[in-house]
Structure 1
Amino acid sequence: MNLYLTFFKTFFKIGLFTLGGGYAMIPIIEKEVVDNYKWIKREDFIDIIAIAQSCPGVLAINMSVFIGYRLKKLPGALVTCLATALPSFIIILLIAMFFHQFEHNKVVEAMFRGIRPAVVALIAAPTFKLAKSANVTLNNCWIPIGCALAIYLMGISPILIILLAGICGYVYGQYIKPTE
């Protein structure tokens, strides 16, 4: 089978059957790309997640672009990006066309209420898995907790937190880590 068609089918399926956004897609992308097809090593996949998170845009699209580019350069990136985005585009288009017909439907409202806890679990699971693979322990988990509290309680801009984290990471890598 044509490799590009395999890319398209794989990433279309990921885009079609994932609720909850990019973080909920991480375990599904990992299962397909790392475990099933073995296109990318697990360590490289973790790096792709980190890079995709630091780039502007949608996490799942960024990941699909980086994976496609790693596999087949620009044509691979275009195929995986389109395949990931197309299901959401089609679904949103259909919802927009027919929303007025079922916006107050009790069954639809109940369905969305039932999906919410599953989406939270889909987002929490890769977060804990990433924390484990990044060696986040009780000794250093205060960093993300402190950042979240600074944003939530003190109203500090997330952009400022990201810039400060980047500066601290640079200082650590240049001056502190070499002496450890």
Structure 2
Amino acid sequence: MIYLLLFWTFLKIGAVSFGGGYAMIPLIQEQMLYLGWMSSEEFANILAVSEMTPGPIATNTATYVGAKAAGILGSVSATMGVTFPSFFIVIIIARFLTQFKENKIVDSILKTIRPVTIGLICSAVIFLAQTSLFQIEITFSTLIEGVLGGFSGILHAIRLDKAGIFIFFVIFVATARFKLHPVFAILSSGLLGFLFYIIFGAL
């Protein structure tokens, strides 16, 4: 049954994800593609909407994915699945906070988890870059083909999305320099994309 599958899938993701919502993104993406619930492009679009709406990105993503896969009940199942593990774990930690805080074994475990979290977040960044800044999926064979062809070969192999690159740099500078709020950043990038479409046609 699709609702149980959604609940179980996101329960597993929520139970093994450390480091916040962004660390969950590659795990959610892998499951969505494996189960055939959506394409990489659809998942990237859902991430953009999830970032713009209120609430944690992992919860929002689970809600949208569930709705896409099985409607309202699907969104409820996915949301409950992804939030249950952290809900119960936090209750346990709150109960034994002092003991956990002074436990060297727990402290050692948490220190080894942090690098994994960085790797997961970097994986999410790479996925978003592939779906936003390049016109094709970048694979190892694609990179080899480009390297063998020199600089021009690399540019031809990776097929940069010029509009995506431009919007990325504009929003990056606006966010880094002027502290542009993520909601306004996404709305601004959408407006820029619309203007590109009006002026140059389909991107």
SS in structure 2 of the partner of residue 57 of structure 1: coil
TM-score by length of 1: 0.82
Alignment correspondent of 1:69: 67
SS in structure 1 of the partner of residue 36 of structure 2: coil
Distance in 2 separating the partners of 1:90 and 1:157: 35
The answer as to whether partners of 2:41 and 2:131 remain within 8 angstroms in 1 is no
Counterparts of residues 14-163 of structure 1 (less than 5 Å): 14-35=13-34, 37-136=35-134, 137=160, 141=165, 144=168, 147-148=171-172, 150-152=174-176, 154-159=177-182, 161-163=185-187
Alignment correspondent of 2:153: none
The answer as to whether partners of 2:2 and 2:74 remain within 8 angstroms in 1 is no
- Listed one character per residue, the Cα deviations across residues 131-177 of structure 1 (whole Å, up to 9, x for unaligned) are 0122254966575456445544x453435544543443333333x32
Amino acid at match of 2:197: G
Distance in 2 separating the partners of 1:135 and 1:141: 6
Alignment correspondent of 1:9: 8
| 1:165 is the counterpart of 2:183 | no
SS in structure 1 of the partner of residue 84 of structure 2: helix
Q: Structure 1 pair 27/164, CA: closer, same or farther in 2 (3 Å)? A: closer
| 1:177 is the counterpart of 2:176 | no
Amino acid at match of 2:80: L
Root-mean-square deviation (CA, aligned residues, Å) is 2.6
Q: Structure 1 pair 135/141, CA: closer, same or farther in 2 (3 Å)? A: closer
SS in structure 2 of the partner of residue 83 of structure 1: helix
Distance in 1 separating the partners of 2:78 and 2:90: 19
SS in structure 2 of the partner of residue 134 of structure 1: helix
Which stretch shifts more, 43-52 or 59-68?
43-52
Which stretch shifts more, 54-63 or 164-173?
164-173
CA shift at 1:29, angstroms?
A: 1.3
Structure 1 residues without counterparts, runs of 5 or longer: none
- Listed one character per residue, the Cα deviations across residues 33-52 of structure 1 (whole Å, up to 9, x for unaligned) are 221x2222333223222222
SS in structure 2 of the partner of residue 103 of structure 1: helix
Distance in 2 separating the partners of 1:87 and 1:106: 23
Count of aligned pairs between the two proteins: 176
Amino acid at match of 2:101: E
Amino acid at match of 1:169: G
Q: Structure 1 pair 119/142, CA: closer, same or farther in 2 (3 Å)? A: farther
Amino acid at match of 2:14: G
